[in-house]
Amino acid sequence: MKKKYINLVNKSKWLRSEIFEMVVKVNQGHIASSLSQAEILISLYYSGILNIKKKNPKYKNRDRVIVSKGHSAMGAYPIFADLGYINKNELSKYGTPSGKLRIYGDKSIPGIETTSGSLAQAPGIATGFAYCSKLDKQNFYTYVILSDGEHYEGQLWETAMFAAHYKLDNLVFIVDRNKQIILGKNEKLLKLEPLRKKWESFGWNVFDINGHKYSELVPVLKKTRKLKNGKPSLIIANTIKGKGISYMEDVTRWHNTMPNDKQIQIARKDLLKNCIHE
């Protein structure tokens, strides 16, 4: 294991377990999609890239992070609790009438910047943030975690054009490229490739990395902050849906299926071992 990222690697194990336990307790949520994006969120919140303040989710000049694939916005809740944005006991109330935390992130939840869940709207909202950040010289960055599925929405390409035209180089999209949607693999159902060329042709900086390796995620995220070349950036983070749970990895049926008791025990054993190494 590369010692450089050992803290982040340990966070991976912690976050996966937290997400899994939250979901199976109330049988609500999207485990597989939350697991594929885990390293993306951890890289953002724990590598020192973001200008954020603990316990203050409304800090004015904070960098904004939006999980646009709203079905996995819940994957950020353990991080919000850890940063002191919400009370830790909220995690055990997830999905219950007395709890604040819900499957889909909405802006009533501290740490959630905008309601998401209807695909490809949050990237457009993010352009509003980025435009104001530039105009008012607030100099914050806006990060948006996208799904494969959002690429089928026409609105995303409207946003791609807009952000490039207005030179929003303070805007970074990260695609959780787990290559699946609910009914199967993208490339089989309706192909998205060549994704990199598509974004490049829209005038974006594009990076293509392994989304489960901090040794690739962290340097590229740092690079996007240094570029300042008048172009927005997009990182294709290649991931595995259900990463960390043996029977879920890259298996289509787990988008929103709940594991049975036996499967829960297997998953807990799987999650005791860390699937992330660098």
Instruction: Name the residue nearer to other proteins (CB basis): 38 or 156.
Output: 156
Task: Report the residue from 115, 147, 180, 239 that binds other proteins according to the rule CB under 8 A.
Answer: 115
Tokens of 159: 């946003």
CB of 101 to other proteins, least distance (A): 18
Rounded to whole angstroms, the Cα distance separating 238 from 196 reads 12
Where does residue 228 fall: left (phi above 0), alpha (psi -120 to 50 degrees), or beta otherwise?
left
Instruction: Answer yes or no whether residue 122 interacts with other proteins by CB under 8 A.
Output: yes
CB of 153 to other proteins, least distance (A): 9
Instruction: Answer yes or no whether residue 152 interacts with other proteins by CB under 8 A.
Output: no
Instruction: Answer yes or no whether residue 107 interacts with other proteins by CB under 8 A.
Output: yes
Instruction: Name the residue nearer to other proteins (CB basis): 107 or 191.
Output: 107
Instruction: Name the residue nearer to other proteins (CB basis): 4 or 107.
Output: 107
Task: Report the residue from 131, 198, 250, 257 that binds other proteins according to the rule CB under 8 A.
Answer: 131
Instruction: Name the residue nearer to other proteins (CB basis): 87 or 138.
Output: 138
Tokens of 170: 């303070």
Q: Which residues contact 136 (CB under 8 A, 6 or more apart)?
A: none
Half-sphere exposure of 193 (CA within 13 A, CB side): 10
Per CB under 8 A, which region of 28-36, 111-119, 175-183, 230-238 contacts other proteins?
111-119
Half-sphere exposure of 69 (CA within 13 A, CB side): 33
Task: Report the residue from 85, 94, 129, 199 that binds other proteins according to the rule CB under 8 A.
Answer: 129
CB of 155 to other proteins, least distance (A): 4
Site string for other proteins, 154-183 (x = CB under 8 A): xx--xx-xx--xx-----------------
Rounded to whole angstroms, the Cα distance separating 199 from 197 reads 6
Task: Report the residue from 55, 89, 97, 135 that binds other proteins according to the rule CB under 8 A.
Answer: 135
Instruction: Answer yes or no whether residue 128 interacts with other proteins by CB under 8 A.
Output: yes
Instruction: Answer yes or no whether residue 149 interacts with other proteins by CB under 8 A.
Output: no
Per CB under 8 A, which region of 15-23, 90-98, 112-120, 250-258 contacts other proteins?
112-120
Please, is 107 exposed, middle or buried when counting C-beta atoms within 10 Å of its C-beta (0-12, 13-18, 19+)?
A: exposed
Instruction: Answer yes or no whether residue 121 interacts with other proteins by CB under 8 A.
Output: yes
Rounded to whole angstroms, the Cα distance separating 232 from 204 reads 5
Instruction: Answer yes or no whether residue 137 interacts with other proteins by CB under 8 A.
Output: no
Query: Which CA distances in Å does 209 have to 40, 154, 215, 221, 226?
Result: 11, 25, 10, 11, 18
Task: Report the residue from 67, 79, 126, 237 that binds other proteins according to the rule CB under 8 A.
Answer: 126
Q: Interface with other proteins by CB under 8 A: which residues?
A: 106-107, 113-115, 117-118, 121-129, 131-132, 135, 154-155, 158-159, 161-162, 165-166
